[in-house]
Structure 1
Amino acid sequence: MSHKKYITNIDQIPELNRLEEHHRQKLKAVQKRYAFRSNGYYQSLIDWNDPKDPIRRIVIPSADELQPWGELDASGESLYSKAPGLEHKYPDTAVLLVSDVCGALCRFCFRKRLFMDDNQEVARDVSAGLAYIRKHTEINNVLVTGGDPLLLSTRKLTEIIEQLRAIEHVRIIRIGSKMPAFNPFRILDDPELLEMFKAHSQPNRRIYLMAQFNHPRELTSEARRALDLVLQSGVTVMHQTPMIRGVNDSAEVLTELFNELSYMGVAPYYVFQCRPTEGNAAYTVPIEEGYAIFAKAHQNCSGLARRCRYTLSHATGKIEVAGLTDDQVFFRYHRPADPQQNLGELLAFPRNPEAFWLDDYTDPQPLASNQKSAFC
């Protein structure tokens, strides 16, 4: 199968033919609810002889996705929509949703609503969003995301970057992408993309590539070459990943991931608590367990890798899991949506090993009560 070939139906995966028919029908029911997409390169990374293969778990549908739990917009992103395709949650940061396509679709995606037929959050015409950014001079940082911006043509992406670069108060442009993991040939085979990066990532106005790698197995020789070319183009590369049950819920796996990235000059930035998005029940690790894994992973990392934070992207802001005692769990508002109310606020709650989201500590009827059976 060509590395460029995209797959949008599980019937196109010959390895799934070995499944019993009732199991295939369950997966088709999942696919009907939540879109499936992969590609030849990423499929080639799956060890089909390992039923617990992490790459398979990232991209291949699971019947567990139909377990009732969560909601489609778990972080309340719609609350911060200010123009078509434009979100403004933090005072100095705007988010441009420019694509509703990815190189493959993570089964635990927190924006899976974007890939549903009736979604209108993504704007192919970004003019209204750009006009909003021009008007709001407090915005110095724009995250271009989706979907995956690197699924746009280089011409279209260049148009967006050029218009952002022309706005004097926008000093940082971030591009959120998993293409270095999903299909690094998008970078390796397109010198024009690298030339665009080189032209617009300037010494005092950098472009940042926010690259998502969930597991060390994604760091293939092709992915490493692609990252190196991006770095050589003058773009700063940062790393982020959610913690996912059955993928990276292991201190050893996270340590290897952090170290390998930092060796390449890619800075680990955030590990996110998997959001309580509809369909994500079986992929989510309880907060306290996740933090314990994260903290242990740090023990064998250099100080460069230890800059990473374990956070929740909550409707009220980005909240860091700050620590545990025998009796309490501590959170800190790292980026509050309303800095007048929550800036630097420290929260302490009694330990709750079944808590999957901040609301599980504050709501008398927590989400965790719906998920308890998922791992029994």
Structure 2
Amino acid sequence: MAYPENITNLNGISQMPQADRERLRPVMEKFDFLSNEYYLSLIDWDDPDDPIRRVIVPCSEELEQWGHLDPSNEAKYSVMQGVQHKYESTAVFLASEACGGYCRFCFRKRLFIHPEQRNFLTDYDSAFAYVRDHKEINNVLITGGDGLMLPTDRLERIVAGLRAIDHVRIIRIGTKLMAYNPFRVLNDPELIRLVRQYSLPDRRMYFMLHFNHPREITSQSIEACDKLLRAGAVLCNQTPMLRGVNDKPEVLGELFNKLSYIGVPPYYVFLCRPTVGNLPFAVPVEEAHQIYQEARNMCSGLGKRAKLTMSHATGKIEVLASTSDQIIFRYHRAAIPEQSGEVVICRKNPEAYWFDDYQEIMEVVSLSDGWLAE
């Protein structure tokens, strides 16, 4: 297949009955739709609950009132247009305004709903200067949007600029194109040349992939991943846990296993952020933890490396364990460095979707207390 054609209107999906298009018109008026012929071909249109359909095709439940447009308070950590610096060693470049498809559960949909809120990186020189001046930054994530939606020459300008900064050891590119459009890799030898040139033995390039369901791992996506691996990149995968997509242990376990088979370590399973429009995809914290644990039991150690976390405004909070009446969290990374590693023990609340829903904190234990040191 050549580069697949984008589809921006439900009228472009011949498999959808007209009645469904009319029913979803109010959703389309609020949240845009974008996909392509390749990804839509993965859908079983005879199954109204098809998980790939759920990832990309609007549903009426998106209009239910829930959440915020910026639930992780990214605005607080924006140090200049298109640059975030929340964690001490990591800078984030919102470098791409485009995606290969619009995930229905997107946590940055505010950037597409309100054009005036777009905060994408345009001044590369100022961004490089900021990173140079902050020597604690040892890795930079290029995302957006989707980092691989950048034309290769623009992507290389950013990568080359970062490679010229000695203390930047890792360059990461956040992308869902291995699922949405693997032809971005398969049809661009210049991208493979870029990876060979800039992913060095002591300074690797990482691609943070976004497979949500095992059926997204096609022969084409496997070939694209293999090309990146052979060029010297390191690949990892992260996915939110999504109602109706991967919220069954056997599905999540299969995803973990398939990823481990193709050399893409599972990295994070995120709790769905409480973003406007995302309620139909959200799974409560304690239910998600149970699903996650059962899925891990189906895998070897290579498949069970993902951590169940939430990207909270205060940091990445890992769901660590539970007892009959307690749920135990740990700050995997914290915006306040001294808080990293801190354990928070809460009274269980089966209706909690987010850390803020836990009203009864029973105990807080920091690394300085000794027994938490790893």
TM-score above 0.5: yes
Equivalent residue number for residue 358 of structure 2: 361
1:275 to 270, 273, 276: 273
Distance 2:264 2:57 in 1: 27
Equivalent residue number for residue 288 of structure 1: 286
Residue 4 of structure 1 aligns with an amino acid whose one-letter code is P
Deviation, structure 1 residue 323: 0.8
Distance 2:293 2:360 in 1: 26
Deviation, structure 1 residue 126: 2.8
Q: Which shows bigger deviation, 186-195 or 1-10?
A: 1-10
Equivalent position SS for 1:14: coil
For residues 208-256 of structure 1, give each alpha carbon's deviation from its aligned partner in whole angstroms, at most 9, with x where no partner exists. 0000000000000000000010100000000110000000001101111
Identity across matched positions, percent: 53
For residues 162-187 of structure 1, give each alpha carbon's deviation from its aligned partner in whole angstroms, at most 9, with x where no partner exists. 11111111000010000000000010
Matched, 1:114 2:106: no
Equivalent residue number for residue 7 of structure 1: 7
Matched, 1:309 2:307: yes
CA contact (8 A) 1:319 1:335 kept: yes
Distance 1:250 1:128 in 2: 45
Task: Check 1:199–1:2 CA distance in 2 against 1; reply closer, same or farther (3 A cut).
Answer: closer
Q: How many residues align?
A: 360
Deviation, structure 1 residue 363: 8.7
CA contact (8 A) 1:100 1:147 kept: yes
CA contact (8 A) 2:346 2:360 kept: no
Equivalent residue number for residue 214 of structure 2: 216
Equivalent residue number for residue 123 of structure 1: 121
Residue 12 of structure 1 aligns with an amino acid whose one-letter code is G
Residue 200 of structure 2 aligns with an amino acid whose one-letter code is Q
Deviation, structure 1 residue 344: 1.3
Residue 258 of structure 2 aligns with an amino acid whose one-letter code is E
Distance 1:362 1:93 in 2: 31
Equivalent position SS for 2:132: helix
For residues 82-103 of structure 1, give each alpha carbon's deviation from its aligned partner in whole angstroms, at most 9, with x where no partner exists. 0110000000100000112111
CA contact (8 A) 1:84 1:126 kept: no
Equivalent residue number for residue 143 of structure 2: 145
1:96-245 matches, cutoff 5 A: 96-116=93-113, 117-245=115-243
Task: Check 1:126–1:33 CA distance in 2 against 1; reply closer, same or farther (3 A cut).
Answer: farther
Distance 1:26 1:124 in 2: 39
Equivalent residue number for residue 320 of structure 2: 322
Equivalent residue number for residue 369 of structure 2: none
Deviation, structure 1 residue 24: 2.8
Task: Check 1:13–1:3 CA distance in 2 against 1; reply closer, same or farther (3 A cut).
Answer: farther
CA contact (8 A) 1:38 1:105 kept: yes
Matched, 1:36 2:33: yes
Deviation, structure 1 residue 118: 2.2
Deviation, structure 1 residue 2: 6.7
Residue 304 of structure 2 aligns with an amino acid whose one-letter code is R
Distance 1:127 1:282 in 2: 41
Equivalent residue number for residue 61 of structure 1: 58
Matched, 1:24 2:25: no
Q: Any unmatched runs of 5+ in structure 2?
A: 362-374
Residue 262 of structure 1 aligns with an amino acid whose one-letter code is S
Equivalent position SS for 1:271: strand
For residues 268-313 of structure 1, give each alpha carbon's deviation from its aligned partner in whole angstroms, at most 9, with x where no partner exists. 1100000000000111000100010000011111111222100010
CA contact (8 A) 1:99 1:124 kept: no
Equivalent residue number for residue 333 of structure 2: 335
What TM-score comes out, normalization by structure 1 length? 0.93
Deviation, structure 1 residue 26: 3.9
Distance 1:137 1:125 in 2: 20
Q: Which shows bigger deviation, 303-312 or 276-285?
A: 303-312
Q: Any unmatched runs of 5+ in structure 1?
A: 365-376
Residue 90 of structure 1 aligns with an amino acid whose one-letter code is Y
Q: Which shows bigger deviation, 63-72 or 114-123?
A: 114-123
Equivalent position SS for 1:249: coil
Equivalent residue number for residue 90 of structure 1: 87
Residue 222 of structure 2 aligns with an amino acid whose one-letter code is R
Equivalent position SS for 2:304: helix
Equivalent residue number for residue 374 of structure 1: none
Matched, 1:345 2:349: no
CA contact (8 A) 1:2 1:41 kept: no
Deviation, structure 1 residue 324: 1.1
Distance 2:208 2:360 in 1: 33
Distance 1:10 1:3 in 2: 20
Task: Check 1:124–1:10 CA distance in 2 against 1; reply closer, same or farther (3 A cut).
Answer: farther
Equivalent position SS for 1:36: coil
CA contact (8 A) 2:236 2:265 kept: yes
CA contact (8 A) 2:178 2:209 kept: yes
Distance 1:167 1:303 in 2: 35
Distance 1:305 1:205 in 2: 25
CA contact (8 A) 1:144 1:175 kept: yes
